[in-house]
Amino acid sequence: MVREQLDGGERLIRRLVASGFNLAGGLWTQAEGDGQVYLYLITPEVEGRDPRIAYGKLAATQKAIEQEGVHWLERIDQFGVKLIPPSRPLARGVLEEYRRYPVPTPTWRGGSILGPVYSDGAYIYPPSLFQPQPQAG
């Protein structure tokens, strides 16, 4: 993970939240069974629903960010993001972390267990990032 990739994830999260996309949490990790690191975004928008709609919104947001001319390292590959429902074990583990440790800054966790899922290190975005911000003006 490089700083620009972490910043790119934060930029994507902020843009999604500002557009009304319902996010409950997020992290970068290579979870048990994954062959690479992914940006996991926890959203009820895929809970019991066709995930293509949520992934379409995600792709449109990613495209809009790329058209702004962000640094190439901040661009998040469309296949590098997994939208997961709050009911998934990894999501439950992250949401429990938020409940137990509501820190205002991102947290780096070395190899650990989030819920019942082993993670080969995780960069967990803070819960405050997923709260809609009031519009200026």
Model confidence over 41-69: pLDDT tens digits? 999 999 999 999 999 999 999 999 988 88
Segment 13-32 mean pLDDT: 94
pLDDT for the residue 11: 94
Assigned domain for 135 exists: no
Band (pLDDT 50/70/90 cuts) for residue 114 is: confident
Report helix, strand or coil for 120. Answer: strand
Q: Quick one: three-class SS letters along 42-85?
A: ECHHHCCCCHHHHHHHHHHHHHHHHHCCCCHHHCCCHHHEEEEC
**pLDDT tens-place string over residues 67-84:** 888 777 778 888 899 999
DSSP secondary-structure letter at 112? Answer: E
Domain assignment of residue 52, given as a range: 3-130
- Lookup: tokens for 37: 């690191």
In a domain, 136, yes or no: no
Structural domains counted in the chain: 1
Residue 137 lies in a domain: no
In this structure, is residue 88 part of a structural domain? yes
